[in-house]
Chains A and B, each alone.
Chain A
C-alpha cells in the first residue's frame, strides 16, 4: 500500500490510542506533559517570529496597560509588552534548566558508576559527601554558589546543576552495585574485558534507562530553582529576559492591583515545570512502575 499522509496519520492516531488502552491514564499524562513541553520549546525556538514586540522595547504601548487589545497580557511599568517578554523568557529558563540537568547528570552518572564499581574507601567517602549534600536544602546551596559566582547565565547554570549531582550519583551507584554482581559482568571479566569496557559497555547501558525519568523530573525542579534564584535577584543581569526576574519586578505592583505582571510569568513557570513533571511521571510509570513508590 502506498504511503499517504492520511493513512500515516490514522496509523499514528490508532497507535496512540492503542498505547492509551495498554497503559491507561499514565500514557495520557505522558502525552499531556510532552505536548506542554513541546509547545514551550517551539515558543523558545521561534520567539522572534511569534512575539509581536521586541521584549526590550520600552515604547511598545502605554505604561501598565491591563491585558486586552494590542497587548494580550498587558504592559509593564517600563511600557514593555508582557506577552513578548514571556515568549523570549522561555529561551532563558529552558536553556539554563536543560543545561544544568545535562551537566549534573554527566557528573553524577560518571561519579556514581566509578564509585559503585570500584568500591572501597573512595566509594565510602564520596557516598558520605553526596548523602550530606542530598540532605541539605538545594536552594540554599544554590544561593551560596550563585552569591559567590556572581550573576551570569553560565554561573547560574553551575549553581543549579550542583544540587542535582547527588540525585544521579545515588541512583546510579545503587544500580551499579547490583549490576556488577550479574553473571554477564562476570563473564566479561572472565574473557578479559578491561574495567573501562565493563563500565561503558556492560553497566552503563543498563543504568541509563532509569536516569531518563530522573532527568525529566530534574529539569522540572531546575526550572523552579532557576526561577527562584532570579526571583530573589541572584541569578542574571537585568539585560536578560527572564520569567523569575519579571515576577520579582511585578511583585512591586501587587499592592496597586496590577495582577497581570505576576500572574503570567508565574503561570508559565508552573506550566513548564508541570509539563516536565508529567513527562517524567508518565515515563516512569510506563518504563518502571515501581520506581516512584520508593
Chain B
C-alpha cells in the first residue's frame, strides 16, 4: 500500500508544480527579465524538455535521494532540508507526546463518566479545542506566558547566549546537549520547547479525546470488562488498565493518519514561534520562489507521511497479537 501511495503522491506533486499554469522561472526573475535570460535559466533547470522526460528524470532523481540545487542559494536542497529537519522532528515528537497523553486520558475519563457533566465538559473541550487555529493558540500563549507573565521564551530553539554551533552534531538539540553534557544548555533548549509543543499538542488533543472516548465506550461494553468487574477488581484499574489497553490500538492507527495533521500543525506553529524547521524553510522559499527547494520539502513530507504509516502498521502488528502479516 505504501509504495503506490508514495508514487501517486509524487506524481501529483509533479503535476501541481510543473504541469499546472504558473512559470517558476519568470516569476523568480521578475517580470522585467529579458526572454533570453529566462530561456537560459529554463534550459539550465531542464524545464524546456518534454514533460514525460522531465517526469522520468524527476522520479529517477528522487530514487537517488537527490533533490537538486536551490535556485536562489548556491546550496544542495538536501543540505538545507537536513539542516532544518531535526527541529521539526523534535517539535512533532514533543507535540505528539502531549497530544497523546492529554487526549487518551481525557477520552478514557469521559467514557468512564458517560453522560455525566464531566463527559459533556470533555466532549465540549474536544470540539472547541479542535476548532481553535493552531497559530492563534500559539499567539495567545505567547501573549499570556511570554509577554504578560514573561516566564517563557516565545521564539527560537535556544536563547541568545546558547550557541547552537557549540553542540551541532545531530541537529537534535536535546540529544546534542546531552552528548556534550552541557545541562544548562539542555535546560534552555527544553524551556524553548515548552510553548511550541504545548500549542501543537493542545490543539490536536481534541481529535484523540473523541477517538479514545468512542473506542473506550465500545470496550467498556465487552464481556471481559463485565467479568473483571464481577471478580471485584477495582473499577479504576479496570478502566485505565484493562480497557484502555484495548482501546489504545485503534487510537494508535489513527495516530498514523493524524500524523499528517501534526505536520501541518507544525508548519503553522513554526511560523508563529520562529522555529527554524521545515515549515519555516518552506515558507521562506515560497517567498523567494525557490522552486527546487519547495518541491524538495514537499517530497520529504510525502516520504515522512509514508514512513509513519508503515511504522504504525508494524507497531500495530507487534502490540496486537491477533494480527500477523
Contacts and interface: CB of A to CB of B under 8 A. Distances in A.
B191 interface: no
A181 interface: no
Contacts of A220: 131
A104 interface: no
Nearest to A224: B133
A227 B9 CA distance: 25
A262 interface: yes
Interface of B: 4-5, 8-9, 12-13, 16-17, 20-22, 120, 127-128, 130-133, 135-136, 139-140, 142-143, 147-148, 154, 210, 214, 217-218, 257, 260-261, 263-264, 267-268, 271-272, 282-283, 286-287, 294, 298, 301-302, 305, 309
Interface residues of A, number: 47
Interface in A223-249: 224, 227-228, 231-234, 247
A270 interface: yes
B260 A136 contact: yes
A14 interface: no
Interface of A, helix, strand, loop or mixed by DSSP:
helix
Given A148-B17, A228-B135, A234-B286, A138 B147 contact: no
Contact of B264 (A138, A150, A266, A274): A138
Interface of A: 25, 128-129, 131-133, 135-140, 143-145, 147-150, 220, 224, 227-228, 231-234, 247, 250-251, 254-255, 257, 259, 262-263, 266-267, 269-270, 273-274, 277-278, 281, 292-293
12 contacts: A25-B120, A128-B8, A135-B305, A135-B309, A137-B301, A140-B264, A231-B268, A232-B268, A232-B283, A247-B136, A281-B127, A293-B217
B299 to A, nearest CB: 11
A251 B139 contact: yes
A222 to B, nearest CB: 12
Contact of A278 (B127, B264, B298): B127
Contact of B263 (A128, A140, A278): A140
B17 A144 contact: yes
A227 B22 CA distance: 23
